[in-house]
Chain A
Amino acid sequence: MKSLLLLWSLAPLAWQLYTSLVTPEALVQGGGVEAGAFWTLENYRQVWLADPPIWRYLLNSAVVGAATTALTLTLAVPCAYGLQRQGGRLGWLVTLALLATAIFPTVLLFLALLQLARALGLANNLLALSLPYAALCLPLAVLLLRAAFADLPPDLEDAARLEGLNLPRRLRHVLLPLLAPSLASTAILVFLFSWNEYPIALTWISRPELLTLPPAIARIAGSSLFTVPYGAFAAATVLGSLPLLLLVLIFQRSIVSGLTQGAIKG
């Protein structure tokens, strides 16, 4: 059963890897190609040297991801703390609003956000993308961190308060160090979301050299409907997946526990 599950999850990805590493002849004819003309790195050379090169998109996505993660955590930590300490009717209302926004399909916001970007001159600005992205990540981030604050022993903060530490210091020196695992898994999930977001990036960014990975891939997909360079496509998908693949495998424990913990407490 487990190998079936792995086959289902990984076979489509493995096939991309295979496609990216073989010559077009090998792809079309299968086994009937002589050994020397089978494997190739040509597809990777092609996307790496394209104009703009694929590393440009990866870099853009990484920049937006880092900015989004920083902004989201900066806003989510105080909000989660306030929400957890608040409780009561107001806290319940805010939690309900966060849940509603957490399940909201973001594509329905693209039209008004596009007008906002035009009015404020935020189009074609990578860092500006992190504003809507942070908002889209905030519901999940606040819910996860609120659950983490709730897990801390209440005496701890009281003791720090008696020591005369004010709120910023209590957060900085007492509470946040204890929240490090939750902060890490929240940060990874936010980065993941930012790396994958499509409709807003598609409508805010039009200059090719500023595209993030998802719209760049979609553009590559649409550019050649008749000649189909699937080897190059596959190389692009492998390179586009690699950073996240590494992230998921390295931080597997954080991601799984972040999501499951958030679901249990949220």
Chain B
Amino acid sequence: MKEQRLKPTLVNSLLMLPALLLLAIVFAWPLLDSAWLSTQASSVLTGLTPLANGGANWQRLLGDARFWQDAAVTLRFAGVSVALELLLGLAMALLLHQPSRGRGWLRALTLLPWALPTTVLALGWRWIYNDPYGPLNAILRACGAAPFGFLTTPASTWLFTVLADVWKTTPFVALLLLAGLQSIPAELEESLVLEGASPLQILRRLTLPLLRPWISLALLFRLAQALGVFDLVQVLTRGGPAGSTESLALYAYLNAMRFLDFGYSATLVIATFLLLVLLTALGWLLLRRRPLELS
């Protein structure tokens, strides 16, 4: 009976409070703390005690060739892998949408790469790419070709890291787009079929326009995740060779855990965060003509 004396808004707010409080501690506070720490010297030299050093960390960042290389690697990685994931994910979603026997099983099996731990799969890919004993080289040998060092040169390592990421995350994109496909009334497609439209025309005139909100959602989600890529490169390549697969997140991690420079690690975290905000805001603005339904 007590609740009747409280205003409904107050009850609702109180119900939301514990969850929102935990979210604030785990999301908002770390960002504020890292922003503050990025203005401090806090490394082995200071005994990990924060000492204000003005903008020295940020000055170092601007002149740090490794930072710029990692930023380029991360952007290229995110751009290429998200583009591939959207294309493949769309094809996969169209396939999974077709009615057939055992469709549930097909969906579940397709989802497996996404559901399994990234570090486990990264270890698996290291074996698949192994030179000379891995399965890919076994196939090459069977075709009479010379073994290939997939993870030895910077260019090919980068490429095959992207492939492993695409393999792992495309199912998620496909599932989001499948949700979109399921929301399109079947009658619309039937009427276009009656008009004699080809499958390609249906895709262009009906499916893609109606799928737009889901494509936007998948794009924003995958872009943000790809800009923070860490698990995969840390286990598959350790950022090598020659830093060709070192992401900003991995560099931030190395600064904290290997070089014990927390101040500079925080600077890298905040720089990555700013890049992320910039790019997702840009993506949001570009997609804004038909914003996501929030209600």
16 A/B residue pairs, CB under 8 Å, sorted by A: A2-B100, A5-B95, A15-B135, A19-B127, A103-B280, A105-B230, A107-B249, A108-B34, A109-B26, A111-B265, A114-B256, A116-B30, A198-B230, A221-B123, A248-B115, A264-B182
Whether the pair B22, A138 counts as a contact (CB closer than 8 A) is yes
Whether the pair B119, A215 counts as a contact (CB closer than 8 A) is yes
Q: How large is the interface on B (under 10, 10 to 19, 20 to 34, 35 or more residues)?
A: 35 or more
Closest approach, in angstroms, between the C-beta of B20 and any C-beta of chain A?
7
Q: A75-B18, A104-B224, A108-B228 are in contact. Are A199 and B107 (CB under 8 A)?
A: no
Whether the pair B127, A82 counts as a contact (CB closer than 8 A) is no
Contact segment of B4-12, B52-60, B154-162, B201-209: B4-12
* A residues whose Cβ falls under 8 Å from a Cβ of B: 1-2, 5-6, 8-10, 12-13, 15-16, 19, 27-28, 30, 75-76, 78-79, 81-83, 85-86, 90, 92, 94-99, 101-116, 131-132, 134-136, 138-139, 142, 166-167, 192, 195-196, 198-199, 203, 213-215, 217-218, 220-222, 228, 230, 233-234, 236-237, 240-241, 244-245, 247-249, 252-253, 255-256, 259-261, 263-264
CB-CB nearest in chain B for A83: B16
Whether the pair B16, A78 counts as a contact (CB closer than 8 A) is yes
Task: Give the 3 A-B residue pairs with the shortest CB-CB distance, closest first.
Answer: A105-B228, A112-B30, A82-B15
Closest approach, in angstroms, between the C-beta of A70 and any C-beta of chain B?
14
Residues of B within 8 A of A92 (CB): 294-295
Whether the pair B107, A256 counts as a contact (CB closer than 8 A) is yes
Whether the pair A263, B127 counts as a contact (CB closer than 8 A) is no
Closest approach, in angstroms, between the C-beta of A64 and any C-beta of chain B?
13
Residues of B within 8 A of A78 (CB): 15-16, 18-19
Assess whether B179 is interfacial by the CB under 8 Å rule: yes
CB-CB nearest in chain A for B2: A166
